[in-house]
Amino acid sequence: MKQFMIRALTGCCAFLILVQLGLADSKDPKWAANSVEKAGPDFQIQGEYSGILGGGDETLKYGVQVIALGDGKFEAVGYPGGLPGDGWNQEKKVSAEGVKDGNVISFKSEDGRGDLEDGKITIYDAEGTEVGVLNKVHRKSPTLGKSAPEGATVLFDAKQPEKTVKNFENGRVTEDGLLMEGVTSKKKFKDGHLHLEFQLPFMPQARGQGRSNSGCYVLGRYEVQILDSFGLEGKDNECGGIYKVGAPSVNMCFPPLAWQTYDIDFTSAKYDDDGNKTAKARITVKHNGVTVHDDREIDEPTPGGTNKDESIAGPLFLQNHSNPVRFRNIWVIEK
């Protein structure tokens, strides 16, 4: 039966079916895993590491993000002061490619070396002296799992998937009750607060905009980008960025398969009785609990949305970019 389905389908739709069946080639840039069980050994190594370097009066909190690049290859990004959103001052970071020797993956730079083994990174200075150990950490957003307050409109609840998926046009859910990408809410809004939880698939062979791409379109016209930009620069076309408008103040993207949150306050553009625009749309975005856009003005709708008329109410649109991004716990408080 599986082989018949494979032969009968072609293109993007066929590939998505292959992914769901677990038959796609893990060396293909489009290969995606939506579970730890299917992610493979590289996923276990990728992630965030944190600890203290030095001793006595000369100590430094330090964070490292290890990015899986496929085929057992990795890149590490080091953050003096701590991980993004947890102490990093955004002034300096250190990048290094990993070289595997047995069970150890070594990351070398002019500042020193980090040896990753058994879920921890041992750090050495430029002279080869051990200066500290970083342990793997699994951060969670402080708003993860936040319940919809009284009076909120619940758009999707993974505890009631069959009921709440009906709140979306083209609504689809996975076998485990998660909302799939490519949906538009039937209800429309003007001003309010949105809570959204999303999970990026693990796509180690993909790069750039091909890596776990979707988009959260507030009012159907202002895109807060959804992308696996874990460890990247944090640009306007990466996770937390408002596409074509502005980059996030800090890249707060967690590793793929970690649940992440957007908490967004939005205000529609204002018009007078003659149809003249009197105020631009404004948006505040918290990504995993950290403010990455603070009351930012938006001149006009971003590309790819469902509508460009800023004078009317608009829906929540979750873009389908051919990557299996998942969603749960979505609600809006109207203001």
Reading the block at residue 60, the tokens are 């430094």
CATH of the domain at 93: 2.40.128
Rounded to 5°, angle at Cα 306 from 302 and 311: 75
Give the model confidence (pLDDT) of 70-108 as tens digits. Answer: 989 999 999 999 999 999 989 899 999 998 888 999 999
Domain span including residue 87: 36-137
Within a domain: residue 31? Answer: no
Domain boundary among 86, 110, 137: 137
User: Is residue 269 one of the residues assigned to a domain?
Assistant: yes
Number of domains in the chain: 2
Where does a domain end: 77, 103, 137? Answer: 137
Residue at which a domain ends, from 111, 137, 163:
137
Domain assignment present for residue 1? The answer is: no
Helix (H) or strand (E) holding 64: strand 58-70
Task: Decide if 24 is inside a domain.
Answer: no
Same domain, residue pair 133 and 158? no
Residue 48, in any domain of the structure? yes
Instruction: Determine the Cα angle at 287 with ends 282 and 292, to 5°.
Output: 55
pLDDT at residue number 25: 60
Judge whether 21 lies within some domain: no
314 and 166 in one domain? Answer: yes
Inter-residue contact 138 to 44 (CB < 8 Å): no
Q: What are the tens digits of pLDDT across the range 249-298? A: 999 999 999 999 999 999 999 999 999 999 999 999 999 999 999 999 99
Does residue 246 sit in the same domain as residue 286? yes
Owner of token pair 């979306």: 168
**What distance in Å separates the CA atoms of residue 222 and residue 266, rounded to the nearest whole number?**
10
Supply the pTM of this predicted model: 0.91
Do 170 and 277 reside in the same domain of the chain?
yes
